[in-house]
A and B are shown apart, each in its own frame.
Chain A
Amino acid sequence: DSGVTQTPKHLITATGQRVTLRCSPRSGDLSVYWYQQSLDQGLQFLIQYYNGEERAKGNILERFSAQQFPDLHSELNLSSLELGDSALYFCASSPGVGTEAFFGQGTRLTVV
């Protein structure tokens, strides 16, 4: 158990819908990262937050947004969903800079 909790574990939704994925980082970790991993593909970095502020952005679609709340949990919002958004979405947390990241179990999103 990494200490990072992601909910829900599975999500099935229709095209055009909006979903919210939730991540609770390890206690004390200030950095949260979000990744997308499509079937048999690599981890695509989406966005990073540090202590509530956005710190780095990857190739995140405009239909996607995220935030980190004062209690340090984070949410990833995906809207106007398309079939191609079906993937595993991982959240990771780390204490700060230059330290290892701990990954959650992921949310498997299926868009039908």
Chain B
Amino acid sequence: SQKIEQNSEALNIQEGKTATLTCNYTNYSPAYLQWYRQDPGRGPVFLLLIRENEKEKRKERLKVTFDTTLKQSLFHITASQPADSATYLCAPNTGFQKLVFGTGTRLLVSP
């Protein structure tokens, strides 16, 4: 069955460092992959979408890579700030199908 894996352990980093989060998927070939941010008790907020023919995408301090061979996406936040502390969710998607999310990785950025 299709599976999306994100590190369930929280990632703790210091302010100013680069945070790298991983999303692995198995048993399907997504045409695109999305990353969202979720704060406690709030709905997820869209951050970036990368398509299968794109290797990398950037938006301000955010960078996403998409390796269809490894079946993996990496999400980077450079020059991290305490305000970046949140849970980050990935959602690989094959197209006109259900939008399913990984369980998310909690990021904690310390001052």
A2 to chain B, nearest CB (A): 7
Q: Chain B contacts of A43 at CB under 8 A? A: 44, 89, 101, 104
Known: A92-B43, A103-B44. A97 touches B101 (CB 8 A): no
Residues of B in contact with A, size category:
20 to 34
B95 touches A98 (CB 8 A): yes
Determine if B99 is an interface residue (Cβ-Cβ < 8 Å).
Answer: yes
Determine if A88 is an interface residue (Cβ-Cβ < 8 Å).
Answer: yes
B45 touches A103 (CB 8 A): yes
Residues of A in contact with B, size category:
20 to 34
With both beta carbons as reference points, the residue of chain B lying nearest to A88 in the complex is identified as B41
B92 to chain A, nearest CB (A): 12
| Interface set of B (CB-CB < 8 Å, partner A) | 31-32, 34, 41-46, 49, 51, 89, 93, 95-104
